[in-house]
Structure 1
């Protein structure tokens, strides 16, 4: 069995003005003489990944395998970090992504090209199969045509890494899939994920959320979902800290950061009245 460790927990967010945050889930699996990364996150994750691996006593060149659920940029963004790793992705997905026009949303041709470099490391998955001991690929199309999920035997019990077939707890619960090539097919895949979790006792790691589990009361997160964002809201003040958490029952909290470089700390009223 594998020891499973979250490297970066995904976050289910997007904006009306700047699109998706692209904060996807990245996990580490260790077992059977393998060191496996599940997804690689967006390019901005590079320092988070290298720091987390270093704290676990690992270098990026020690990763033996990288599992990719689908070909979008926020899941492929750091594939080049792992020069020794085999890169696993569905053949249908890979061929579909390569055929897309440059303006296809979320598909980055340069990142797709990085999958096949160095040569000899790309592994195209044909259908549902066991990839390495304790890791099995399952078809969950809809978000993209060849999307895969990965079922893994871990020391904490079975886990299913769904990628963006189910991006967050809302999609798991509502079966309403946002951003999909085929929404009907995507809804069927979410239904399959629910039945798989029910029948196998698997927890689920969505593409943009913390680990979830199916209970008698529906889907529940296994840990707090939280994020903090700095917002430089005024030219003469330090940034505000916007804290987001599913543990908060009231409105989103906005607090100033501590003073930096001797700059005065604005009061909450000053922030509220800022233009």
Structure 2
């Protein structure tokens, strides 16, 4: 499996062979909530961040591939609209829904054909059921995690009920997944945070390659200090996945975006502007 992933990474690093026929790709950064953290040491198994506080972004993304639309992650549940972030612990809150943001750019919810999920935690699948017609793409191990008894930390099976009940289409992913078959959008296997975690490569004609981190890290400095949260399922896999994204970013001269880091997501235009 690792050999196949490395071969695919090498192939992805090659220039496009037929740019005249390439699909038109457009990428929007959506606001899918925020999480106020009163003790950031919960995000390092070496207690590196003791005494620090931070508000993490909960970003998700809309991708247009010619006339097809895909969501990458679906943020916090709509039940958290206007939730208070006062007090200690982890306090999630949502200020606007994905559907409301899509309406601003004239994309009807039923136009979403694919929902790609980085991993199965509630802050990444929260609004998935607003798009029950969509094909769900998710790591096989993380779909299996929705069926586990009891569910693991931060996993809420009700948030993906249509797909668990067989009422909506789902494709499980193992290894890397070329979503549209042309190398423009590729799910990259980056396990460690969960057993079936993924990141996403998006190739844009103007901006170039963009790598969306999923939860491979939660903020940029974790790449340089090898910061691994204690709630990750595998430390060694976490570090290997961090290295894979960094190496690929160098190979492709890509913009690497940490989805929970406010400074990092600012590498992409603020909604409703898009990157092309």
**Scaled by the length of structure 1, what TM-score is found?**
0.69
Change (3 A) 1:91 1:69: same
The equivalent residue for 2:212 is: 161
Structure 2 counterpart SS, 1:107? coil
The equivalent residue for 1:222 is: 267
* Residue ranges of structure 1 left out of the alignment (5+ in a row): 214-220, 226-275
CA distance, structure 2, for counterparts of residue 78 and residue 118 of structure 1? 18
Structure 2 counterpart SS, 1:123? strand
Change (3 A) 1:8 1:41: same
Aligned positions of 1:124-139 closer than 5 A: 124-132=172-180, 133=182, 134-139=184-189
Aligned-pair CA distance for 1:59: 1.6
CA distance, structure 2, for counterparts of residue 141 and residue 118 of structure 1? 26
Change (3 A) 1:224 1:79: closer
Aligned-pair CA distance for 1:40: 0.2
The equivalent residue for 1:233 is: none
CA distance, structure 2, for counterparts of residue 82 and residue 206 of structure 1? 25
Change (3 A) 1:115 1:162: farther
Aligned-pair CA distance for 1:145: 0.8
Q: Does 1:183 align with 2:235?
A: yes
**Scaled by the length of structure 2, what TM-score is found?**
0.69
The equivalent residue for 1:142 is: 192
CA distance, structure 1, for counterparts of residue 104 and residue 243 of structure 2? 37
The correspondence for 1:64, drawn from 95, 104, 113, is 113
Q: Does 1:54 align with 2:103?
A: yes
CA distance, structure 2, for counterparts of residue 143 and residue 13 of structure 1? 20
Which of 45-54 and 190-199 deviates more? 45-54
The equivalent residue for 1:88 is: 137
The equivalent residue for 2:201 is: 151
Change (3 A) 1:10 1:169: farther
Aligned-pair CA distance for 1:122: 1.0
Aligned-pair CA distance for 1:144: 0.5
Aligned-pair CA distance for 1:8: 1.3
Aligned-pair CA distance for 1:10: 6.8
CA distance, structure 1, for counterparts of residue 218 and residue 69 of structure 2? 24
CA distance, structure 2, for counterparts of residue 194 and residue 36 of structure 1? 25
Aligned-pair CA distance for 1:86: 1.0
- Answer whether contact 1:11 1:24 (CA < 8 A) is retained: yes
Q: CA RMSD in A?
A: 2.9
Structure 1 counterpart SS, 2:96? helix
- Answer whether contact 2:176 2:186 (CA < 8 A) is retained: yes
CA distance, structure 2, for counterparts of residue 56 and residue 35 of structure 1? 12
- Answer whether contact 2:129 2:160 (CA < 8 A) is retained: no
Change (3 A) 1:68 1:222: same
The correspondence for 1:40, drawn from 74, 91, 97, is 74
CA distance, structure 2, for counterparts of residue 16 and residue 176 of structure 1? 15
Aligned-pair CA distance for 1:174: 2.1
More strand by share: 1
Aligned-pair CA distance for 1:93: 2.0
Which has the larger Rg?
1
CA distance, structure 1, for counterparts of residue 243 and residue 35 of structure 2? 20
- Answer whether contact 2:120 2:145 (CA < 8 A) is retained: no
- Answer whether contact 1:160 1:205 (CA < 8 A) is retained: yes
The equivalent residue for 1:171 is: 222
